[in-house]
Structure 1
Amino acid sequence: MFKEIDDLSDSLVLIVEDSALTQKVLSACLEGLCKVDAVDCAEDAIDYCLKSAPDLILMDWILGGMTGLEACKKIQAMDELNEIPIIFVTSNTNENQQELCWDAGAVDFLGKPIVARTLVNRVRTHLKYKRQTDILKQYSFFDGLTEVFNRRYFDMECKRLFRQNLRQQQCLSVIMLDIDYFKLFNDKYGHLQGDDALKDVAKIAMKMVNRPLDSVFRYGGEEFAVLLPNTSEEGALKIAQSIVNAVKGLEIPHCKSQFDVVTVSAGVAVGHYGAYDNIEDLIQKADEGLYLAKTNGRDQAYLIAKEPK
């Protein structure tokens, strides 16, 4: 797989360097290999990464304000950023300085003055490793049948998003979806038809959830989950109801259902800043909403609201 990754033109390298001349030199060396952007201080680098994470960072050691070493440690301590590989570009290449680079979490270092061929080869290698890792994660985190994220990734992502939204004092909405009378559907129409129904519901959920940070997961069996960062009760309930309506609109025959077609029920819970102590409580609240949607007649979305403490 590593050898097959040749085109890195859409990979992004962020240069963190307070010398405009060095920025130009590094950018010129990487021209034609990948996309390049640059900032001149560590604080701006962290802000940049939080908005749009690059595939690799070239970090100067000595910067005004926060040092490159401090910035590297801070990035490595952040769940949403710690998978970005960092290469130090520095004139400090003695053994002690190298040890500090490794301890901070860097993947490599380059000495100054820059040797263009060495720079290009090192960057190409680490971009390939990053791309390979991303591909492997994609395979391991997707459900093979429905092609949405799987439960394993949900367990990781919901905790990360909960911590992130807590830090940013934002809310996180969770939708739990379940296909109504799915066992009866499988018994009547067979498991192949059941698989097709699961795929159709997953496609509908993906279509209704269209912001880049929103995500759909196969939670287990006929149940799906949706994570909506920074989404209000009104917005989350609207999305949940749109999924409910769209699934019914598919008009997949289901003679064992009171609706004569395949439908879903949805539970919605919104974790405002400070409203929940942990992500498990928020998911449980969305599950309670799903239960109430079922007991109230199915084919509907039910929101359980909870005010901040």
Structure 2
Amino acid sequence: MLQPAGYRALRVATAAAARERARSARLDFIIIITPLPGENGLELCEALRRDPSITPAAPIIGVVTGALPRELYLRWLRAGAWDCLALPLDVEQLLLRLGNYLRAKREADRVEEALLLDPATGLYNARGLKRRARELVAEAVRLHAALACVVFGLDPQPDARGSEPSTVGSAAVRDRVGLVLRTHGRISDTIGWWVGEELAVLAPATDADGTVKLAQRLVHALGTAPPEGGVSLGALEVRAGYEAVADIHAAPPEPEDLLAHASAALQRARAGDGGERIRRFQSSGEP
């Protein structure tokens, strides 16, 4: 029904498999055909809508067997479905609805993406970092995986000739910083501007040792980046703070706490405690 119209359909038989596939794949829409073995379709719809790794812009359509009374239709809408249909389906009608829904979803995705990015560099902004932190924490909880966050502080310094330090806030310099991080970062990393002239990197499947290596590599890259396109970063003092959790599932943090902890560790590194350029977050009471 869907494939002849140009859609690639992913079919699963159970609610558990549907949740797993919805989290791991970027789906344009979800159709829940009831009854489902082991779970109510309405409960699945509600669970998918609560899942932070699934965009609210993804249409969910319920399909029921038999009659579709008004109260059941309203229950599907309350559960977060965009629509509910009854078997047998009018294929032409369904395809027309899907076309309308997908145009709305793509426009919502475009607007949301613009709101999550820094227009000067194409990196995530603070809002985008928070959104990605929620998604990555949810994924790491599901996979029992590690997750880390590093926040870098860029402090311009006078050069050897005593010239005034460069301004990291300028659009050209920010763009150059973004290019350096994208070049030396990993494809799996989420990179963005956090607060002021601080940059954050969210690193999935990365333990404490891996986080230190990541931080060292990026600190070096930022501190030694050559001029390019007439833009120089000048003399930069680059420090970093990080938080790394080996198994997010064992003790799930609040997503924004990862960013806040790494930022707090950066402030300690900037304060010069112990002379370390890269510091791990330590809670109050830790030495």
Aligned: 1:294 with 2:255: no
Structure 2: state its 5+ residue gaps: none
Taking the TM superposition and a 5 Å limit, the aligned residue runs for 1:51-90 are 51-81=24-54, 83=56, 84-90=58-64
Aligned: 1:283 with 2:259: yes
The alpha-carbon distance between structure 1 residues 305 and 294, as it changes in their structure 2 partners (threshold 3 A), is closer
Taking the TM superposition and a 5 Å limit, the aligned residue runs for 1:209-220 are 209-212=185-188, 214-220=189-195
8 Å contact from structure 1 (residues 174, 226) kept in 2: yes
8 Å contact from structure 1 (residues 142, 149) kept in 2: yes
The alpha-carbon distance between structure 1 residues 192 and 216, as it changes in their structure 2 partners (threshold 3 A), is closer
Aligned residues: 271
Instruction: Tell me what 1:39 maps to.
Output: 12
Q: Map Cα deviations across residues 62-111 of structure 1 (whole Å, 9 max, x no partner).
A: 12222322211211121212523211122332212212211221101233
Instruction: Tell me what 1:113 maps to.
Output: 88
Per the TM alignment, residue 115 of structure 1 is displaced from its structure 2 partner at its CA by 1.6
8 Å contact from structure 1 (residues 101, 109) kept in 2: yes
Query: Which AA in structure 2 matches 1:47?
Result: E
8 Å contact from structure 1 (residues 158, 279) kept in 2: yes
Q: Map Cα deviations across residues 222-268 of structure 1 (whole Å, 9 max, x no partner).
A: 21111113311122222222111222332249xxxxx9634522222
Question: What's the Cα RMSD here?
Answer: 3.2
Normalising by structure 2, report the TM-score. 0.80
Greater RCO structure (CA 8 Å; 6+ sep): 2
Q: Map Cα deviations across residues 2-34 of structure 1 (whole Å, 9 max, x no partner).
A: xxxxxxxxxxxxxxxxxxxxxxxx23xx42433
Taking the TM superposition and a 5 Å limit, the aligned residue runs for 1:1-309 are 26-27=1-2, 30-81=3-54, 83=56, 84-91=58-65, 92-162=67-137, 165-166=140-141, 168-181=143-156, 188=164, 194-212=170-188, 214-252=189-227, 261-272=235-246, 273=248, 278-279=254-255, 281-296=257-272, 301-304=277-280
The alpha-carbon distance between structure 1 residues 31 and 238, as it changes in their structure 2 partners (threshold 3 A), is farther
Query: Which AA in structure 1 matches 2:98?
Result: V
Stretches of 4+ moved more than 6 A in 1?
A: none
8 Å contact from structure 1 (residues 252, 262) kept in 2: no
8 Å contact from structure 2 (residues 156, 165) kept in 1: no
Query: Which AA in structure 2 matches 1:77?
Result: R
8 Å contact from structure 1 (residues 267, 289) kept in 2: yes
Query: Which AA in structure 2 matches 1:205?
Result: L
Per the TM alignment, residue 142 of structure 1 is displaced from its structure 2 partner at its CA by 0.8
Structure 1: state its 5+ residue gaps: 1-25, 254-258
Instruction: Tell me what 1:20 maps to.
Output: none
The alpha-carbon distance between structure 1 residues 252 and 222, as it changes in their structure 2 partners (threshold 3 A), is farther
Query: Which AA in structure 2 matches 1:58?
Result: I
Query: Which AA in structure 1 matches 2:181?
Result: A
Mapped partners of 1:285, 1:192: distance in 2:
23
Per the TM alignment, residue 288 of structure 1 is displaced from its structure 2 partner at its CA by 3.8
Mapped partners of 1:290, 1:231: distance in 2:
19
8 Å contact from structure 1 (residues 76, 105) kept in 2: yes
Mapped partners of 1:250, 1:54: distance in 2:
39
8 Å contact from structure 2 (residues 169, 197) kept in 1: no
Instruction: Tell me what 1:6 maps to.
Output: none
Normalising by structure 1, report the TM-score. 0.75
8 Å contact from structure 1 (residues 233, 305) kept in 2: no
Per the TM alignment, residue 59 of structure 1 is displaced from its structure 2 partner at its CA by 1.3
8 Å contact from structure 1 (residues 240, 301) kept in 2: no
8 Å contact from structure 1 (residues 75, 82) kept in 2: no
The alpha-carbon distance between structure 1 residues 138 and 107, as it changes in their structure 2 partners (threshold 3 A), is same
